[in-house]
């Protein structure tokens, strides 16, 4: 590195799952200190201190929206019961796999975090909504919960404190949209997973129309370490309002794909070329997606590679976001049109159908991108795409995207089209030379 | 058809029995190998709603198979990471290989969250990663012969 400093992970949330053998078992996790912080919190009997620590830590939601966790808790209407805690483990954003690692390898961190959070928010019923396809994760979390109950860390009168908490592990059944919090709540109520119009927000009217806190798996798993190190110590990590660490999932044409827990402030160059070992087979980087499938891409230029992993800085400077914590990396042999088409196909398949611009728009965007990426594109197709995109997301080229839909799924494939227009317009036009009127 | 195991306990977990539709449908599918109209009728009676409501809910979710699909559901990812490291080739190979095999249902699925070890597939929701077409066939054949023990068609423990 230019600075000479060694690029390395800062393992806070992911430490146990890397360092402890059979970390998902009660015995191994407990020996490693699982539930120590829950015991301390219950012994101190001061829910306000948990809120203070989390607030001081600066923790922001790790599902992708970056909302300050403590502010969400504080928004719970006072004296309104019952109230619920829902943990979002419906990880489905393409190339995002950090929550799956935590669910499969450190379920006790999730249960401990849930219990501490529920105690702080005076909640006695929590649901952990797991993506249906995570069969192993479900088995491990259900076993972990049973062991936690047997050992007095969940259920009634936890550790003799008088605090009761019932936790239910709920499996989804295959629907990306259920990662959107209001769709997840609908699904948890046994309905089709279609997003609700907001307001009201779930914090005021969520599951069964009761106040509901919805937090991501990584967010809740970060709570025990924050209590262990104190909010102030956690806040010393990171940069600006992006405090602490983030578990990022790197995939694609890198030497060492996988999850890496990094302190905010690392550059994409360090993440891709140091941590993940650079591009495979001696090839060159072509482009990368810095925050999952739904946001604008970045390319192989210094301005983008030197961008720091910083929630606010990246959106201010480059108009994209860190999203779900996924980074997809593509080498020079990759056709950006093919990637854009496959993303559009995904969003068209996963559109719930509630809002017309998304139901129709994602399908048409996919159809046009299909012919463009399969050798039958026409010169006017990119502009046709941009006009289609404008009906889903009126200000196509500028983030944060505007939307004509209830939830952000509709505008998601628009990010890929905007990226084609921004960085690959000449390549796309060169690849699309089929005359109009030729068979599609 | 035997009654759904543990249905009462599943329903009792929720403040509203309607929430039990998804977990009960998983159990029915593991029991029957698919989600039949009879099973949806049974679930409707258990949670106090109509069979049409249960069908309306379940038809939204890709994991529920509303026609018999064989005892092995092979889900191959072709999303944007698997796309560039051989996922589509594995899908094509398996589709051809098992085109006429009544035991094996091969489907293309969206991202399985296994991108760190792509390309990936699931067999009855058990992960198999770092694949190539030959390995993928060997794994499916091991399930067919019983060398590997399959979960239920909905991913539950048998």
Q: Taking the CB of residue A110, how many other CB atoms lie within 10 A of it?
A: 26
Give the C-alpha separation, A62 to A428, whole Å.
34
Is the confidence at residue B71, as pLDDT, over 80?
Answer: yes
The domain in which residue B13 lies consists of 7-58
On whether any CB of chain B is under 8 Å from the CB of A146, the answer is no
Say if residue B137 is in the same domain as residue B83.
Answer: yes
So what's the pLDDT on residue B2? 74
Q: Please, which residues have CB within 8 angstroms of residue B19's CB and are 6 or more apart in sequence?
A: A170, A188, A189, A190, B13
CATH number, span A15-235: 3.40.50.11540
Contact B113 A100 (CB under 8 A): yes
Say if residue B91 is in the same domain as residue B116.
Answer: yes
Using a CB-CB cut-off of 8 Å, the residues of chain A touching B151 are: 135
The answer to the question of residue B65 being in a domain is: no
On whether any CB of chain A is under 8 Å from the CB of B144, the answer is no
The answer to the question of residue B120 being in a domain is: yes
Q: State the smallest CA–CA distance between residue B51 and chain A in angstroms.
A: 13
Say if residue B77 is in the same domain as residue B49.
Answer: no
So what's the pLDDT on residue A219? 98
Cβ atoms of A126 and A166 closer than 8 Å: yes
Write down the architecture of domain A336-431 according to CATH: Up-down Bundle (1.20)
So what's the pLDDT on residue A280? 96
Is the confidence at residue B143, as pLDDT, over 50?
Answer: yes
The answer to the question of residue B106 being in a domain is: yes
Is the confidence at residue B1, as pLDDT, over 80?
Answer: no
Give the C-alpha separation, A204 to A244, whole Å.
28
Say if residue B134 is in the same domain as residue B81.
Answer: yes
Contact A251 B116 (CB under 8 A): yes
The answer to the question of residue B39 being in a domain is: yes
Walk along chain A (440 residues) in steps of 10 and give the mean pLDDT of each run.
74 98 98 98 98 98 96 97 98 97 98 98 98 98 98 98 98 97 98 97 98 98 98 98 98 98 98 98 97 96 98 95 96 98 98 97 98 95 96 86 92 96 96 79
CA A135 to each of CA A86, A196, B60: distance values in angstroms, whole numbers, following the listed order: 19, 28, 20
State the DSSP string of A395-419: STTSSSPP-SSSSTTTTHHHHHHHH
Among chain B residues, the shortest Cα distance to A136 is held by B126
Six token digits for residue A121: 């928010």
Question: How do A245-252 and A326-331 pair as beta strands?
Answer: parallel
Q: What is the CATH number for B96?
A: 3.40.30.10
The answer to the question of residue B95 being in a domain is: yes
Give the residue extent of every domain in chain A.
Answer: 15-235, 237-331, 336-431
Contact B127 A136 (CB under 8 A): yes
Count up the domains in chain B and report the number. Answer: 2
Q: How many CA atoms lie within 13 A of A281 on its CB side?
A: 8
Say if residue B43 is in the same domain as residue B91.
Answer: no
Say if residue B52 is in the same domain as residue B78.
Answer: no
Is the confidence at residue B149, as pLDDT, over 50?
Answer: yes
Q: What is the CATH number for B21?
A: 1.10.10.1590
Give the C-alpha separation, A340 to A365, whole Å.
10
Say if residue B50 is in the same domain as residue B86.
Answer: no
A202 phi and psi angles, rounded to 5 deg? -55, -30
> ipTM of this model?
0.98
On whether any CB of chain B is under 8 Å from the CB of A326, the answer is yes
Six token digits for residue B145: 């012969």
Give the C-alpha separation, A90 to A174, whole Å.
9
On whether any CB of chain A is under 8 Å from the CB of B83, the answer is yes
* Tokens 């990880």 found at: A91
Contact A342 B83 (CB under 8 A): yes
The answer to the question of residue B12 being in a domain is: yes
CA A403 to chain CA centroid, nearest Å: 20
- As a residue count, chain A comes to 440
Cβ atoms of A119 and A42 closer than 8 Å: yes
Say if residue B78 is in the same domain as residue B132.
Answer: yes
Q: Which residue of A132, A138, A257 is in closest CB contact with B63?
A: A132
B146 phi and psi angles, rounded to 5 deg? 90, 0
- Note if the pTM is more than 0.90: yes
CATH number, span A237-331: 3.10.20.600
Say if residue B94 is in the same domain as residue B133.
Answer: yes
- As a residue count, chain B comes to 158
Burial profile B70-81: b = 16 or more Cβ within 10 angstroms, e = fewer = bbbbbbbbbbbb
On whether any CB of chain B is under 8 Å from the CB of A317, the answer is no
Say if residue B78 is in the same domain as residue B141.
Answer: yes
């Amino acid at each position: 590195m230019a600075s000479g400093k060694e690029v390395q992970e800062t393992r806070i949330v992911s430490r146990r799952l890397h360092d402890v053998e059979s970390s998902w078992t009660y015995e191994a996790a407990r020996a490693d200190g699982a539930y120590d912080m829950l015991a301390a919190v219950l012994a101190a009997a001061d829910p306000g201190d948990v809120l203070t620590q989390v607030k001081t830590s600066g923790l922001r939601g790790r599902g992708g929206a970056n909302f300050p966790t403590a502010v969400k808790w504080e928004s719970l209407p006072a004296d309104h019961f019952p109230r619920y805690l829902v943990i979002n483990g419906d990880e489905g954003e393409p190339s995002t796999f950090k929550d799956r690692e935590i669910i499969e390898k450190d379920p006790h961190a999730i249960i401990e975090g849930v219990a501490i959070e529920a105690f702080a928010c005076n909640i006695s019923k929590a649901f952990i909504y797991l993506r249906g396809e995570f069969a192993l994760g479900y088995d491990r979390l259900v076993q972990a919960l049973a062991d936690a109950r047997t050992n007095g860390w969940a259920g009634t009168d936890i550790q003799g404190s008088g605090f009761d908490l019932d936790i239910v592990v709920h499996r989804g059944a295959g629907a990306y949209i259920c990662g959107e919090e209001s769709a997840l709540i609908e699904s948890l109520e046994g309905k089709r997973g279609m997003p609700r119009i907001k307001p009201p927000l779930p914090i005021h009217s969520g599951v069964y129309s009761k106040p509901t806190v919805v937090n991501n798996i990584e967010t809740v798993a970060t709570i025990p370490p924050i209590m262990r190190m104190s909010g102030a110590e956690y806040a010393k990590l990171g940069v600006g309002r992006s405090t602490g660490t983030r578990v990022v999932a790197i995939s694609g044409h890198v030497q060492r794909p996988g999850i890496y827990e990094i302190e905010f402030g690392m550059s994409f160059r360090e993440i891709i070329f140091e941590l993940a070992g650079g591009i495979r087979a001696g090839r060159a980087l072509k482009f990368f997606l810095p925050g999952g499938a739904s946001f604008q891409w970045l390319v192989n230029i210094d301005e983008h590679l030197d961008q720091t992993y910083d929630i606010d800085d990246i959106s201010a400077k480059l108009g994209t976001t860190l999203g779900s914590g996924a980074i997809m990396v593509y080498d020079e042999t990759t056709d950006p049109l093919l990637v854009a088409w496959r993303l559009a196909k995904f969003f068209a398949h996963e559109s719930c159908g509630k809002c017309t611009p998304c139901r129709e728009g994602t399908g048409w965007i996919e159809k046009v991108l299909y012919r463009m990426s399969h050798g039958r594109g026409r010169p006017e197709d990119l502009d046709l795409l941009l006009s289609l995109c404008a009906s889903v997301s009126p200000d196509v080229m500028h983030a944060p995207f505007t939307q004509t839909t209830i939830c952000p799924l509709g505008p998601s494939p628009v990010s890929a089209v905007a990226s084609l227009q921004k960085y690959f317009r000449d390549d796309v036009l060169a690849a699309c030379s089929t005359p109009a009127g030729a068979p599609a | 058809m035997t009654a759904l195991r543990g249905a009462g306990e599943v329903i009792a977990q929720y403040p509203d029995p309607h929430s039990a539709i998804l977990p009960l449908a998983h159990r029915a599918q593991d029991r029957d190998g698919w989600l039949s109209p009879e099973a949806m009728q049974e679930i409707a009676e258990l949670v106090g709603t109509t069979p049409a409501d249960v069908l309306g809910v379940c038809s939204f979710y890709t994991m529920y198979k509303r026609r018999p699909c064989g005892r092995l559901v092979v889900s191959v990812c072709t999303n944007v990471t698997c796309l560039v490291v051989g996922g589509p080739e594995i899908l094509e190979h398996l589709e051809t290989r098992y085109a006429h095999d009544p035991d094996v249902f091969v489907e293309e699925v969206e991202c399985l969250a296994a991108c760190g070890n792509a390309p990936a597939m699931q067999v009855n929701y058990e992960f198999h990663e770092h694949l190539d077409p030959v390995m993928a066939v060997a794994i499916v054949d091991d399930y067919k012969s019983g060398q590997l023990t399959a979960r239920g068609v909905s991913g539950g423990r048998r």
